[in-house]
Each structure stands twice: as C-alpha cells, then as structure tokens.
Structure 1
Amino acid sequence: MMKVTVDQDKCASSGNCVMHAPEIFDQRDDDGVVVVLDENPPADQADNARKAEAGCPALAIHIEE
C-alpha cells in the first residue's frame, strides 16, 4: 500500500502536486502550502502520486510503497 507524506516546512507552494494529482493533494488557501487529502491513495492514483513527487521543486513529497 502506498503512503504519501509531505514536509510542509519545505513546501514552496508551487502547486505542481495539485496539477499532477488533485485527488491526493490540495493547497491551503492562506499560503498555498500543500495538504494531503489522501495519505493512502488507490492503485489507480499511484502514477499521479509519483508524478507529483517527481515534480515537486522543493522535494517536500515522500512516498513509501
């Protein structure tokens, strides 16, 4: 099972994660920092989660599989 975590202190508020995986990530309204909507996304979202991790300029997203 995939587990998605984020380091909000590292987040650069780029929005790449939301662009790649809107079912898994959102951003806080006040400062744009990443929020995880689904820590254990279904298998059909795994590729999107990996794309979000790879596309994060701040390396704030971590995936354990």
Structure 2
Amino acid sequence: MGHIVIAYHICVGCGACAEVCPDIFEMIEDKAWIKMSDDITLCEQARSICPVGAITIEEDEQ
C-alpha cells in the first residue's frame, strides 16, 4: 500500500485532480488538498493528469 503526497510548492492550482477524483482531492485557496487517501488506485488517474507532476504516490515503509 502507499499514500498520496502533494508537492504544494509545485501545485499550480489547476484543479484537474479534484475534477477527476472529487472524493479524494479538493481545492482550498488555489491548491489541491487531500481529503481522503484510502484508495490510492483512484489517485493514479489524478497523478497522471497533473500537468506539473505535483502528485506522487509513495510506498509505505513496512
């Protein structure tokens, strides 16, 4: 399993992630925020659509 990480210094606030995955991301003050990160498989679409690569999925340490 893994967890979602948003590089806020890179995020340009385009809202693409919140548009494709509204259950996981929300826009607050022109930045994407994670509101639920339980299903990282849904996040793959948001990660790939981010125009600046601000979304990554990091593996949890075992």
TM-score, normalised relative to structure 1? 0.78
The C-alpha deviation readout for 1:13-32, integer Å capped at 9, x for no partner, is 1111001111111111x3x1
In structure 2, stretches of 5+ residues that fail to align are none
In structure 1, stretches of 5+ residues that fail to align are none
- C-alpha distance in 2 between matches for 1:37 and 1:23: 7
RMSD across aligned C-alpha pairs, in angstroms? 1.5
Superposition misfits of 4+ residues, deviation over 3 angstroms = none
- C-alpha distance in 2 between matches for 1:60 and 1:2: 16
Which aligned pairs between 1:27-42 and structure 2 lie closer than 5 A? 27-28=27-28, 30=29, 32-39=30-37, 41-42=38-39
Matched, 1:50 2:30: no
Per the TM alignment, residue 2 of structure 1 is displaced from its structure 2 partner at its CA by 2.9
Greater strand percent: which structure? 2
Q: How many residues matched? A: 59
The C-alpha deviation readout for 1:5-56, integer Å capped at 9, x for no partner, is 101110011111001111111111x3x10101123x23xx61x310100000
Identity of aligned residues (%): 25
